[in-house]
Amino acid sequence: MKYFLNVTHCGIFVLFVLFTSSVESQPNASDNESTIAQILSKSVAPTTTEHQALSAYFYQLSQDMEKKRATHEYLRKRYEQWGLTLTLQHCSEIIEQYRNLAREYQAMADEHATLAQ
C-alpha cells in the first residue's frame, strides 16, 4: 500500500510538472514585461495603444492565474480522495489566492480597456 501511494504521488507530480511546463512554454504575459515596465515608468499618461497593451498584459495574467487555479483544484480533489489534510489545506489556500489574483488582474485589464477607448 505504501509503495502504491508513493507511485501515485510520483505520477501526480509528473502530471503537474508536465501541465505547468506546457502552460509556461506558451506565450504569456512575461514576454511583454520589459515593454510594460517602460510604459509604467513614463512620467506621462499612457497612450491609447499603451492602454491596449496594458489591458492585454493584465488579461493574460488573469488567464494564467485561472490556469494555475484549475491545476490546484485538480490537485486538491486528488489529495481529498487520499485524506491528506495538510496538503488539502495548502491547495485550498493557493486556489483562493489564484482566484483573487485573477479577479484583480481582470479588473486592471478592464480598466485599461476602458481608458483605451
Reference 68, options 111, 10, 7, 26; nearest CA is 26
Comparison of pLDDT for 80 and 3, the residue scoring more: 80
Question: Residue 82: is its pLDDT beyond 60?
Answer: yes
C-alpha cell read off for 53: 497593451
Q: How confident is the model at residue 27 (pLDDT cuts 50, 70, 90)?
A: very low
3 compared with 32, residue with greater pLDDT: 32
Residue 108 has pLDDT above 50, yes or no: yes
Range of the domain at 44: 2-116
Lowest mean pLDDT among 8-12, 22-26, 36-40, 112-116: 22-26
Sign of CA dihedral 100, 106, 107, 108: positive
Q: What is the pLDDT of residues 30-69, one digit of tens each?
A: 566 777 888 878 767 788 888 999 999 999 999 999 999 9
- Number of domains comprising the chain: 1
- Tens-place pLDDT, residues 16-26: 544 454 444 44
Q: In the predicted model, is pLDDT for residue 95 greater than 90? A: yes
CA distance 105 to 4: 41
Any idea what the Cα angle at residue 94 is, between residues 10 and 88, rounded to 5°?
55
